[in-house]
Copies of this chain bind each other. A is one copy, B any other.
Amino acid sequence: MTSVANALEQHRAAHLEELKELLRIPSISSLSEHTQDVRRCAEWLAAALERAGLEHVRVLPTEGHPVVYADWLHAGGERPTVLIYGHYDVQPVDPLELWHSPPFEPEVRDGRLYARGAVDDKGQLFVHIKAVEALLRETRSLPVNVRFLVEGEEEVGSAHLEDFIERNRDLLAADVAVISDTSLFAPDVPSITYGLRGLVYLQVDVRGPSSDLHSGSYGGSVANPAEALARIIAGLKDERGRVTVPGFYDRVRDLEEHEREQWRSLPFDEAAYTRELGVEELYGEEGYSTLERLWARPTLEVNGIWGGFIGEGSKTVLPAEAHAKISSRLVPNQDPDEIARLLAEHIERTAPRGVRVEVRRMHGGRPAVVPPDHPAMEAASRAVERGFGKSPVLIREGGSIPVVASFEVLLGAPTLLVGFGLPEGNAHAPNEWLLLDHFYAGIRTSVALLEELGRVELVTAGAGPKG
């Protein structure tokens, strides 16, 4: 056993106590009455990073909650720079009465640490702080240059983060980013997430008469915007769930056979998934398994629709307007700008007569995939194997983590998504928990990851230490 591993073993209890202290701070970013708690949490973290031996520790203001930064840039030679991202803000806790122990009084039961933020993301972020601390204390050095970027607005959409990264490219320059804010695929199935879907989010506004009309006095003589909108939406896909917008699939990269194979071997229980969602049957694009539909195929979903009278009872209006929020999840190599344009053009081209249709782009993000044979990905696989004693599966995620695209675009750095949560860990729900075994395996994995990354050559668009 190395001295670092030894130190980690000896400090298990202390690490847990320290994490509990962090979890006691109710840093709910969405509630203004917790603004001071969010601030306090940033300062607590800054102190923890300082204690860990990091340098240039700063609590940096944004237009919203502050960002915490720290670094250690003395690895020397050609050693890569690793940017560790996490967030210290948490979700609200309501409904409070469903919690078995208070959300901000961390409690261990059955090997699980229960608290708001235990897994999302304080517990997973803390893993890396403790790994760096152990390495610095035991070896007086780190195998790579390290920067920490910890934000306080992830749970409210990271509104100011991209701007922050753009204004601080030099400070954040890195060869690879590491995020621990995801889950193992299943218990005892350590996982690395190597792909995320991108996003295009649109609002479609359909307008007809200048005000709501009486559906008796006017109905039949003028186009109905809600009906036109329904027709537009129905025209975006065929009955088998395939998007009918010309060009939509043109750049979609086919799955590699080895990916399909690996995913087929994952312990995915379709019946349990169906039950969990509360549906009678699953539904999606023909010719693909559920995981393939979720991870490797683009979607087009209505996120919201409204128009006319939506209260109790009945009101006989012919609505003046109707609206829908529509989004596409994108996969490599789809381009958000191109897809937004294709969708908007198709909608405008096929708009029913008698109404005016406007398509507005809300936001978007690129899909991201780190090839499994990327040297950083191989290093991460070895690290997870060392931390968990079992080699990881490579999975993707259907959602988007916008900061990953920002790192790619603004810093030129690919992101390793190495998560220590579990799908059933109640992130965003009452009784959030982190398995203690995963907390400790996480710290071991982080130490191993920094060591493994110190041994590979990373040739990226990112720069070495400048900050």
Q: Interface of A with B (CB < 8 Å)?
A: 197, 199, 201, 203, 208-211, 213-224, 226-227, 229-235, 237, 239, 241, 273, 277-285, 290, 293-294, 297-299, 301-311, 313-319, 322-325, 327, 329, 352-354, 356, 362-363, 397-400
Contacts and interface: CB of A to CB of B under 8 A. Distances in A.
A95 to B, nearest CB: 13
Contacts of A283: 221-223, 353-354
A301 B322 CA distance: 13
18 contacts: A201-B316, A213-B277, A217-B398, A220-B294, A221-B294, A224-B302, A226-B305, A231-B239, A303-B314, A303-B315, A304-B311, A304-B319, A305-B306, A306-B306, A306-B310, A314-B325, A314-B363, A316-B399
Given A302-B224, A315-B303, A398 B282 contact: no
A210 B277 CA distance: 6
Contact of A217 (B199, B226, B282, B294): B294
Given A278-B211, A282-B222, A294-B217, A310 B304 contact: yes
A216 B201 contact: no
Contacts of A219: 294, 299, 301, 329, 398
Contacts of A221: 273, 282-284, 290, 293-294
B294 A303 contact: no
A195 B352 CA distance: 31
A232 B230 CA distance: 8
A239 B231 CA distance: 9
Contacts of A223: 279, 283
A301 B362 contact: no
A220 B303 contact: no
A188 B305 CA distance: 45
Contact of A399 (B214, B239, B353): B214
Nearest to A288: B220
B209 A293 contact: no
Give the oligomeric copy count: 2
Contacts of A281: 353-354
A463 to B, nearest CB: 31
A230 B220 contact: no
B305 A352 contact: no
B297 A319 contact: no
A354 B277 CA distance: 12
A47 B285 CA distance: 72
A218 B302 CA distance: 13
Given A233-B227, A302-B226, A354-B280, A220 B313 contact: no
Contacts of A315: 303-304, 325
A45 B130 CA distance: 84
A310 B306 CA distance: 6
Given A201-B316, A303-B309, A303-B314, A398 B220 contact: yes
A350 to B, nearest CB: 11
A277 B209 contact: yes
B277 A218 contact: yes
Contacts of A307: 302, 304-306
A331 to B, nearest CB: 10
Contacts of A214: 399
Nearest to A275: B210
Contacts of A217: 294, 397-399
Given A222-B283, A283-B353, A302-B307, 16 more contacts: A215-B301, A216-B399, A216-B400, A219-B294, A220-B298, A221-B284, A221-B290, A223-B283, A226-B303, A301-B318, A303-B315, A303-B317, A303-B319, A304-B317, A310-B325, A316-B327
B310 A220 contact: no
A122 to B, nearest CB: 21
A91 to B, nearest CB: 13
Contacts of A323: 310
A297 B220 contact: yes
B303 A216 contact: no
Contacts of A306: 305-307, 310
Contacts of A273: 221
Contacts of A282: 221-222, 354
A305 to B, nearest CB: 5
Contacts of A199: 216, 316
A310 B280 CA distance: 26
The residue in A210, A273, A278, A304 that gathers the most chain B C-beta atoms within 10 A of its C-beta is A304
